Amino acid sequence: MTNQPSPNLPNQVTWKWSEGSNANLAVDIDESDGYWKADFNATTTEFELLQQTFPADVIFKIVEELNRYADQKIAHTPQFHLTRRQKKWKPVNCDEILIFIAARTLMGIDQKPQYSDYWSSDPLIKSSMVPKILSSDRFFEIQKYLHFNNNSQQEPGDRLFKIRDVWTMFT
C-alpha cells in the first residue's frame, strides 16, 4: 500500500446504506439519506481507511482466536501427522492480520482460479503484489486457522457463535 494520496480523492466518501435485517447496526448513519459518512481528505491513506474499517479491537480479537485455534489444532495432532507448515507454525501478530486482509482484498480485485496461482512462477498467472507482502505458506496457515471465537465456549443452538464477538465489535 502506498502512502501517497490518491488523485482526485473527494473530501467525503459515502457508502450506500440499505434497509434490511441489519438496519439497526450501531454506525453513524444520516437518517435523511441513508448513507454512512466518513470524513477523508487528500492526505488520507489507504492504510488509514483499512484501520477505520478494521478497528484495533477487531484485529486483536482475530489474532487472539486464530492463535488459540492454531495451538489447539496443533496440540491435538499426533507429532507424526503434523504437516511441514504446522511444524514451523509461529503465532500471528496484528501486523500480519492486516497484511492478510490486504492480500485477501487484492485477491478480490485480481481474481485467480486457485489461491496457489497468486504465487505461481508462471508470469501469465502470478500476482505481482501478493507474493511481495505474504508468503504462500503463511497465507495458507492463516487461512486454515482463521477464527473469530473460542470454540470451547459455544452454546448449543447459537448459530452465530463463530462470528458473534467480531460482529458485535463491527456493529
Encode pLDDT of 92-141 as tens digits. Answer: 999 999 999 999 999 999 999 999 999 999 999 999 999 999 999 999 99
Tell me what the mean pLDDT of segment 153-159 comes to.
Answer: 86
Whole-prediction pTM? 0.72
Residue found by looking up cell 488520507 in the block: 44
Phi, psi values for residue 98, rounded to 5°: -65, -40
- Quick check: 18 and 34 in contact, CB under 8 A? yes
DSSP 3-state percent helix, strand, coil across the chain (nearest 5):
50, 5, 45
Q: Percentage of the chain with pLDDT > 70?
A: 77
C-alpha cell at 41: 481528505
Helical H segments across the chain, by residue range: 46-53, 56-75, 84-87, 94-109, 130-133, 136-145, 161-170
What is the phi-psi region of residue 54: left when phi exceeds 0, alpha when psi lies from -120 to 50, beta otherwise?
beta
Give the single-character DSSP code of 159: T
